Amino acid sequence: MGGEIRILADGAAIAKRAAQEFVQAAASAVREKGSFNAVLAGGSTPKALYRLLVNDPTLRSQVPWDKIHLFFGDERHVAPDHADSNFRMATEAMISKAPIKPEQVTRIKGEYPDAEQAALEYEKAVKEYFKLKDGEYPRFDLVLAGMGNEGHTLSLFPGTKALHADRRIAVRNWVGKLYAERITLTAPVACNAAQIVFMVTGADKARALKAVLEGPFEPEQLPAQLLQPKNGRLLWLVDTAAGGMLSIGIRE
C-alpha cells in the first residue's frame, strides 16, 4: 500500500489534523476551479472533525462555505432522521450549524424501501453535478474514509458484491453479517479522487490496519486496500492504539 501514514495520539489529534487537511484541500480547490467538493464519512472520528470545522473560530473562518458541496461516501438503509443515518450525524455535527444552503448537500436517500433506487438516484445526482458522460467517474476533491475492524471502508465489506461493481458510481450492497442493505460509492470512484484521508482509531482495528498496510494485497478480505488514488494523495491518520502493530508510519 502506498500513501502517507501518520500516527497521532488520539481521535482528537486526528480530528484536528484532518480539519487542517480539509481546509487546505478546500483552499487549493477554490484557487484552481472556484469550488470545493468533499465526500463525508460516518463514524465517531469524522463527527469530531465536523464539529471542529464549525465550532473552532479559526477553522470555521478558513472554510469557504459558500463554495462547498458535500456528498456522502455511504449510507445506511434508514430515514434521514434515524439515529443510524450518516446524514443525520453530519447534519447535527456540522451541516445545520454551517452557513451552507440545502442545495449544497447531496445526500443518499436511505429511506427508500428499495436501496437500489437510492443508489441510482444518488449516482444520477453525482453525474449531474460533475456533468459526466456515461462511463466517466467523478473527481472528488476530498474523500474522507474510515475503516472497520475487519478492514471494510465506505460500505465495501469483505466478500460483498459491491467490491466488483466497477462500472457504477454508487450501488446498493447487501451485508449479510449486518442483515442490512447499505448504499455506497464504489472503489473506482473513490480512487479517482484528488485526495483520500483515512481516519482510524481504536485498538480493535490494529490487526486489520497492519494487514491492510503491510500485508499482501487481498482486497476481497480487506476492502480498504482498494482505496488507492490513481492520480492523487492518500493519507492515513491513525491513533496510537490503531497503529500499535505497525512497523511503518511517522509518529507525530
What's the first-to-final CA gap in the chain, in angstroms? 20
Nearest residue to 109 via CA among 97, 128, 95, 125: 125
CATH of domain 4-251: 3.40.50.1360
For residue 207, the surrounding DSSP H or E stretch is: helix 206-214
pTM, 2 dp: 0.98
The Cα 151–Cα 207 span in angstroms is: 9
**94-107 pLDDT, tens digit each:** 999 999 999 999 99
The Cα 124–Cα 126 span in angstroms is: 5
Grid coordinates standing for 25? 484541500
Instruction: Name the band, by pLDDT with cuts 50, 70 and 90, for residue 2.
Output: confident
Grid coordinates standing for 52? 471542529
Nearest residue to 182 via CA among 71, 73, 41, 77: 77
* Contact partners, residue 113, CB within 8 Å, separation at least 6: none
- Rounded average pLDDT over 24-44: 97
Domain residue spans in the chain?
4-251
Q: DSSP of 57-112, one letter per residue?
A: HHHHHHS-GGGEEEEESEEESS-TTSTT-HHHHHHHHTGGGSS--GGGB----TTS
DSSP label at residue 153? B
Nearest residue to 162 via CA among 76, 153, 94, 209: 153
For residue 196, the surrounding DSSP H or E stretch is: strand 195-200
- Would you state the pLDDT for residue 1? 72
Burial of 221 (0-12, 13-18, 19+ CB in 10 A): middle
Grid coordinates standing for 241? 492504539
- Would you state the pLDDT for residue 215? 97
**137-179 pLDDT, tens digit each:** 999 999 999 999 999 999 999 999 999 998 999 999 999 999 9
- Rounded average pLDDT over 105-116: 98
Residue 27 Cα to chain centre, angstroms: 19
> Which residues on neighbouring strands pair with residue 105, listed in sequence order?
70
DSSP label at residue 219? T
- Would you state the pLDDT for residue 246? 97
**184-225 pLDDT, tens digit each:** 999 999 999 999 999 999 999 999 999 999 999 999 999 999
> Which residues on neighbouring strands pair with residue 234, listed in sequence order?
196
The Cα 119–Cα 237 span in angstroms is: 29
